[in-house]
Amino acid sequence: MIDLRWISLPGLAGARGSTARWRCLALLATACTAASACALTVDEARHLLTRTGFGAAPHEIRTLLPLTKEQAVDHLLDGLSTAEVATAPAFLNEPMADYLQRLGDRAPADLVGLARSVTPMSTQDTTHLIHQGMQEMAQLRVWWLDQMISTPSPMAERLALFWHGHFTSKYFSVRAPRLMFDQLQKIRTLGSRNFADLLAAMMRDPAMLIFLDNALNRRQSPNENFARELLELFTLGVGNYREQDIKEFARILAGHSVDFTGSWGYLTRPQEMDTGVKTFLGQTGPWALEDALRILLANPRTARYIAGKFHQEFVSPKTDAAEIDRLATVLRNNQYEMRPFLRALFLGKEFWTPANRGQLVKSPVELLVGLVRSFGVASPDLEMLNTYAHILGQELFEPPTVQGWLGGMNWLSASAIASRASMIDAMWTSRPAGVEYLAAGPNDLLVRYSAESNGKVPARFHVQVNGQEAYRGQARWPSDTAGQGQLSPKPAWDIARVPRDRLPANIETINVVFEKPQGDYPNMFLNWVQVDGKRLPAYLTTVKFDPVQDCSETQVPRGMMYCSADARFDLARIAGAQGLPDTTLYDRVNGPVNSIIESGTSRVALAMRPAARTREALMQTVAAQWTSLTGGGRRADLLAATTAVAPLQPASAQPRNTEEFLKGVALDPTYNLK
């Protein structure tokens, strides 16, 4: 970095010195621009962080400010090799479910040597198996969201999200959560290292082989599905191959399958392989999988296709042929190593030009995770974040098609824009619940609840422990969801907390009592209670409704309080129940869900405390962090630090304080851009 302090030296004083001084300044400015030798501005640091990760928190911006563009990009790239590897989801420690049964008609009975099709299960057993898979996938989705929020290297997870939309697999086609986790781990590790290695891994990935039907591919009747997508979507792109190349590639891929009755790992079936001569992309020989990989990587169209997707994802929606050619050359010259390619991408002129800022649309996951990272917003349970992403159209591990998510302006339909604002507002308003959750001791009593109201009368309730009142309060931010459409956010969850030292040593019963005014609208929804490290979902309660009000214990799902109700947890009865599922997981078979409020958040393992590694930041006020960064919190500085383009807020809007201003920025339509 150039030190400008010498410009004020006495030798440059006077008229001649003044002229010399200005010439030096002009030369330095030119050199700074040409070589990117100046330290980043707040806006430049925010731009780099938002494009390469998820949002930009004040401490992340502050870290980059002393650095030049080259130093900042290298700093982020260095983080790829030190990205934290977190504990795997809890379901991986449990016995593997019967994936073969879950596949049903997709199970290749004859291929794996079964004498007949998989034995049919009872409707109840089939339902349980399906719901078990949904529980495990809920864990996996929330686990990954936790990594995105808590990682010290957001670029690593952002790259993984990109590759997740490139090498796509849908859970409801694969139906094996362990395979989805294994695929994600390959993407997370290889996706930031080498594209050639990642492509080789995906060509042998069990989830991918099942999803695109290659597990059933045999030489007698080649299945062309995987071959077609490998050429069209994963490597060359449309128009860069012939139909005959698909047929020949399908022959090469025959016999590459999955061990359905054993480890469910990658398995070759020699008797199903085609060892004959094939002509693939103009080259003829007895090609095997390794040969096809070599031919694809040697084809310059592969590098250009990948470079083009990265340019569209991280730089601009507009195609720049010369820039894409430059990036493709870097990719090929470095044998598809990702670091030099990413360095060329993020140090390119196109990446930094102001005309390209604010031209990309944040995906739902980027928007929501970025809000958490940038502003310290956290829900008491990250399943809510997953629910919002799903409502907005980006459910992880369930892309709409093999093309993944189309992205860009497709995210911003008229209804989606309104829904994004509603969900951000709900998350922002519920921030105190996240802080309360993270501040709780491991043995405190927590009651997780939500409410809805017409805005006239709040939902009031109290909590009794062993028959004695331990807490009395009301919902802090009830919302009215009646009559709202599918894209409306669910009411934000809140936490009521009672410190353990205010509770009896031996807790026998916990009652959550909702007091609904006669003839009025407020409703309350109980999700779970937690005490002494045990989480008890609402379906474990026995509920008594007010006989005067119109609610039935047999018709209303437990936890859904549309009338005055007393939901009782009898801890001795719960502990002694036989065959009870793990109470840290929500079982939809035992606990029906409501169309407005889903109690599914308790499917998440208790040990998964969202964003725990960012607790210190969450305990501080958002306004203080941003004001400190911008040197007094001038509005122009805050806008530069938080948005890609100037917001659309009316000039007459006068927020009362910095935090209110930041909320306004987050709710502004331009916050959807980056």
Average pLDDT over residues 63-85: 90
What is the pLDDT confidence band of residue 9, given thresholds at 50, 70 and 90? very low
% of the chain residues with pLDDT over 90: 49
Spell 600-628 as b/e; 16+ CB within 10 A means b: bbbbbbbebbbbeebbebbeeebbebbbe
**CB contact set of 506 (below 8 Å; sequence gap of 6+):** none
Residue 83: predicted pLDDT: 60
Average pLDDT over residues 362-383: 86
Residue 435: predicted pLDDT: 73
**CB contact set of 170 (below 8 Å; sequence gap of 6+):** 211, 397, 398, 399
436-445 pLDDT, tens digit each: 777 788 899 9
Stretch (H or E) spanning 268: strand 266-268
Residue 157: predicted pLDDT: 96
The phi and psi torsions of 509 (rounded to 5 degrees) equal -140, 150
Question: Does the pLDDT of residue 609 top 50, yes or no?
Answer: no
Residue with the larger pLDDT of the pair 640 and 168: 168
Stretch (H or E) spanning 80: helix 69-80
Residues 569, 510 contacting (CB under 8 angstroms): yes
Among the residues of 376-430, which ranges form H helices? 383-391, 414-429
Distance CA 256, CA 267 (A): 6
Question: Does the pLDDT of residue 369 top 70, yes or no?
Answer: yes
Average pLDDT over residues 630-658: 80
Residue 408: predicted pLDDT: 92
Q: DSSP readout, 601-621?
A: GGGS-TT--TTGGGHHHHHS-
Question: Does the pLDDT of residue 553 top 80, yes or no?
Answer: no
Site of tokens 């649309």: 361
Question: Does the pLDDT of residue 121 top 90, yes or no?
Answer: no
Greatest alpha-carbon pair distance for the chain in Å reads: 98
Identity of the highest mean pLDDT range in 32-36, 317-321, 644-648: 317-321
**CB contact set of 589 (below 8 Å; sequence gap of 6+):** 124, 127, 128, 131
Average pLDDT over residues 154-162: 97
536-547 pLDDT, tens digit each: 878 788 999 888
Identify the CA nearest to 338 among candidates 190, 233, 201: 190
Beta bridge partners of 222: none
What is the pLDDT confidence band of residue 186, given thresholds at 50, 70 and 90? very high
- DSSP secondary structure letter of residue 240: S
494-527 pLDDT, tens digit each: 889 999 999 999 999 999 999 888 767 788 888 8
Residue 650: predicted pLDDT: 66
The encoded tokens of residue 299 equal: 């084809």
Residue 432: predicted pLDDT: 75
Beta bridge partners of 452: 523
Question: Does the pLDDT of residue 554 top 90, yes or no?
Answer: no
Question: Does the pLDDT of residue 286 top 90, yes or no?
Answer: yes
Lowest mean pLDDT among 43-52, 366-375, 571-580, 584-593: 584-593
Helix (H, G, I), strand (E, B) or coil at 400: coil
Identity of the highest mean pLDDT range in 230-239, 525-534, 575-584: 230-239
Residue 538 region by backbone torsions, left for phi larger than 0, else alpha for psi between -120 and 50, else beta: alpha
What is the pLDDT confidence band of residue 647, given thresholds at 50, 70 and 90? confident
- DSSP secondary structure letter of residue 503: S
Residue 339: predicted pLDDT: 98
Average pLDDT over residues 239-248: 97
Distance CA 603, CA 623 (A): 33
Residue with the larger pLDDT of the pair 131 and 561: 561
443-488 pLDDT, tens digit each: 999 998 888 877 678 889 999 999 999 999 998 766 655 444 444 5
Question: Does the pLDDT of residue 605 top 50, yes or no?
Answer: no
Identity of the highest mean pLDDT range in 31-45, 181-195, 374-388: 181-195
| Mean residue pLDDT across the chain | 83
Lowest mean pLDDT among 281-285, 292-296, 303-307, 515-519: 515-519
Contacts from 103-108 at CB under 8 Å and sequence distance 24+?
Answer: 103/175, 103/176, 103/210, 106/173, 106/175, 106/210, 107/260, 108/215, 108/216, 108/260
Stretch (H or E) spanning 622: helix 622-629
What is the pLDDT confidence band of residue 657, given thresholds at 50, 70 and 90? confident
Spell 168-205 as b/e; 16+ CB within 10 A means b: bbbbebbbbbbbbbbbbebbbbbbbbbbbbbbbbbbbb
**CB contact set of 81 (below 8 Å; sequence gap of 6+):** none
Question: Does the pLDDT of residue 674 top 50, yes or no?
Answer: yes
Residue 615: predicted pLDDT: 45
Amino acid in the structure at residue 542:
T
The encoded tokens of residue 147 equal: 């990594």
Site of tokens 């995210």: 411
The phi and psi torsions of 267 (rounded to 5 degrees) equal -145, 135
How far is C-alpha 74 from the chain's CA centre?
25
Amino acid in the structure at residue 231:
L
Residue with the larger pLDDT of the pair 136 and 227: 227
